[in-house]
Structure 1
Amino acid sequence: MDDVFTGSILSALSTGLGAVPILFLKNTLTHKWRDILLAFSAGIMMTASMFSLIPEALKIGGMLQVVAGLFLGVMVLTILEKQIPHIDLEHSRSGIQFDEKAMLIIAAITLHNLPEGLSVGVSYAADASETGNLIAFAIGFQNAPEGFLVALFLISQNIGRMKAFLIATATGAVEIVTSLLGYYLTAYVNTLVPYGLSFAAGAMLFIIYKELIPESHGDGNERTATYAFITGIVIMLMLIEAF
């Protein structure tokens, strides 16, 4: 229980950690660096899904549970996407321009964080505790640039830097609740563990292919983003091997 609580807090609050530079940054972030961060995060999450979550689910359960969990995760994310307005950032080589209302983007990002917290919780419910640590790390890596972009947006709406930092941190903090919910559901109903792990993998793969990769290829930075994606895969593989 201590592990899941610590892991969920660290992965969730990494959103705030990613927003820290906004307190000192004078200029906006170019799309090239944003694309690199998104692609790198995609590589981290892809490796965590394919080399940690799915193999663990296969070991505990079987192919039927894995397939069912994967499709359930994809369906839930599909429903969320249809119900939650998706905010696309306007592409500009000089920087990131925002033209949406502040509360809309805050609500959308907060709600999109809910399944990520669930992924962390169900990962800790597996017998192998290192699986939870790896997924918490992967989600945290993805949350950091997200927190930076949220804070950057809020500053563009004439919100103070400290307030922007605190709001960005709060958007990630909701993951703690769903992380604990996912842990309790799967830990005390043991047959749900392989479904939960596969659900987490499906949700993460949906986010990677539907959100992170397309967003990183919108400004002519495809080659650089591809290198960042592969770098993320290699680093996560090294971490899995180290664990």
Structure 2
Amino acid sequence: MSVPLSQILTLTMIPVAATVVGGVAAAFHAPAERTRSFVQHFAAGVVFAVVAGELLPEITAGHQPLGVVIGFALGVAVMLLVRQWAERLENTAQGRSASTGNLGLIVAVGIDVLLDGLLIGVGFAAGARVGTLLIVALTLELLFLGVSVASSLVQDGASRGRVIGTVSGLSLLVIVGSLLGGTLLQGLTGLALEIVLSFGAAALLFLVTEELLTEAHEVKETPLITSAFFAGFVALYLLELLT
């Protein structure tokens, strides 16, 4: 059953608000590195639980091996291309003015945020339940994406007003991505749906392993920080069982 676009838009406002809150908070006082690492581990566990508990069972039920191969290949390829382009922008900006460096960061993050919004649309293509749980997972990820962007801009000397305005503008790309996904992907069945869901699963796994956990591991690990990943996984999985 298709999910109304108005419902997708309403729920998407949650991660949008989280992105803005993260940016505003960091504009005034950035959280400690260990706190960020803890929450990034927790968010990674939550996202992983959505993939394992919701998307993979939907993919398995479709019984479309070709769709799985195509979707996973496309998902990994797109995420690798996005990362490569983001790194190229950052390398190009090195040695130039702070504003040029900021522009490279903003463009790279904008693409990332747009993809997150698109993944929300992918989730709702599988149903309201999957989409809603994905909203929960990506809200945490986008919260600390807002923190990271704001912290980088503050370090480069940007004013609080500019930091908050930039993060708020980036957050709107979540809406654009979710509306695109919600419009283009609703009503898909068979092979097409299998490709889309597999693409989403691969992209989310990439987000967990190559972005959230990679950045989180830049801080020295402690048992508490490591356990946050499993706490996030269990928390979301229990939510799945109770709904």
Classify the TM-score, shorter chain: 0.7 to 0.9
- Of 4, 10, 14, which aligns to 1:6? 10
Kindly state the Cα deviation for residue 24 of structure 1 after the two structures are TM-superposed.
4.4
Q: Show the 5 A alignment for 1:54-203.
A: 54-85=56-87, 101-126=101-126, 128-191=127-190, 192-203=192-203
Structure 1 length-normalised TM: 0.85
Larger helix proportion, structure 1 or 2? Answer: 2
| Maintained 8 Å contact 2:27/2:151 | no
Are the counterparts in 1 of residues 86 and 104 from structure 2 also a CA contact under 8 Å?
A: no
**Deviation, structure 1 residue 10:** 2.3
Query: SS of 1:219's equivalent?
Result: coil
Shift in Å, 1:130: 0.8
Amino acid at match of 1:166: G
Gap runs ≥5 in structure 2: 92-97
Change (3 A) 1:233 1:125: same
In structure 2, how many angstroms separate the alpha carbons of the residues matched to 1:169 and 1:134?
Answer: 23
Give 1:157 shift. 2.4
User: Counterpart of 1:45?
Assistant: 47
The one-letter code of the counterpart of 2:87 is: P
1:19 to 2:23 alignment: yes
Amino acid in the other structure paired with 1:211: E
Partner Cα separation in structure 2 for residue 188 and residue 64 of structure 1? 20
Q: Secondary structure at the match of 1:101?
A: helix
Could you say what secondary structure the match of 1:84 adopts? helix
Q: How far is the alpha carbon of 1:23 from its aligned partner?
A: 5.2
1:111-148 superposed Cα distances (whole Å, 9 cap, x missing partner): 1222211110021122x311110111111111001101
Contact 2:55 2:201 in 1 (8 A): yes
**CA deviation string 1:7-53 (max 9, x = no partner):** 2332233211222323543xx43221121121111111111111111
- Indicate if the aligned counterparts of 1:124 and 1:132 stay in contact, CA closer than 8 A: yes
- Change beyond 3 A, Cα 1:117–1:68: same
Distance 1:166 1:63 in 2: 45
Contact 2:41 2:229 in 1 (8 A): yes
- Partner Cα distance (2:62, 2:202) in 1: 17
Provide the aligned length of Structure 1 versus Structure 2.
Answer: 231
- SS of residue paired to 2:87: coil
Shift of the alpha carbon at 1:242?
2.2
Query: Gaps (5+ residues) in structure 1?
Result: 89-97
In structure 2, what is the equivalent of residue 94 of structure 1? none
Question: Is this contact kept in 2: 1:17–1:144, CA < 8 A?
Answer: yes
Q: Deviations over 1:93-121 (max 9, x none)?
A: xxxxx9x9222212211112222111100
CA distance in 2, matches of 1:201, 1:13: 24
Shift of 1:61: 4.9
| CA distance, structure 1, for counterparts of residue 222 and residue 71 of structure 2 | 31
Counterpart residue identity of residue 137, structure 1: V
| 1:13/1:173 contact within 8 Å kept | no
Counterpart amino acid of residue 70 in structure 1: F
Does the CA-based 8 Å contact 1:187-1:193 persist in structure 2? no
Which residue does the alignment assign to 1:238? Answer: 238
CA distance in 1, matches of 2:81, 2:53: 26
Task: State the secondary structure of the residue aligned to 2:220.
Answer: coil
- In the other structure, the counterpart of 1:91 is none
